[in-house]
Amino acid sequence: MNVDRAVMAFAGVMILLSLLLTFYVSPMFWLLTAFVGLNLLQAAFTGFCPAARIFKMMGLRCGEAFR
């Protein structure tokens, strides 16, 4: 697995988790979904993603998107 795939998997898990929390706990967890979406959008334009930096520090090899 490379950094790009790890970031996409992490974002997918966070979105699904926020949807479950919204349904079972509080509608305010929609804000987590919005945060993940905004972070993905800004990463697409700037190339900076905090999760990608953490995955690089964990030793995953770089992909094409986050070098």
Question: How many domains does one find in the chain?
Answer: 1
When pLDDT is cut at 50, 70 and 90, the band that residue 64 belongs to is: confident
Does residue 65 form part of some domain? no
Residue 37 within any structural domain of the chain: yes
67: DSSP letter: -
Q: Which pLDDT score is estimated for 23?
A: 95
pTM of the entire predicted model: 0.83
pLDDT surpasses 90 at 54: yes
Q: Provide the residue range defining the domain that includes 22.
A: 3-57
Q: 51 lies in a domain?
A: yes
Tell whether 67 is covered by a domain.
no
**SS3 assignment for 1-66:** CEHHHHHHHHHHHHHHHHHHHHHHCCHHHHHHHHHHHHHHHHHHHHCCCHHHHHHHHCCCECCCCC
Report the pLDDT averaged over residues 4-13.
Answer: 93
Residue 11 class from Cβ within 10 Å (0-12 exposed, 13-18 middle, 19+ buried)? middle
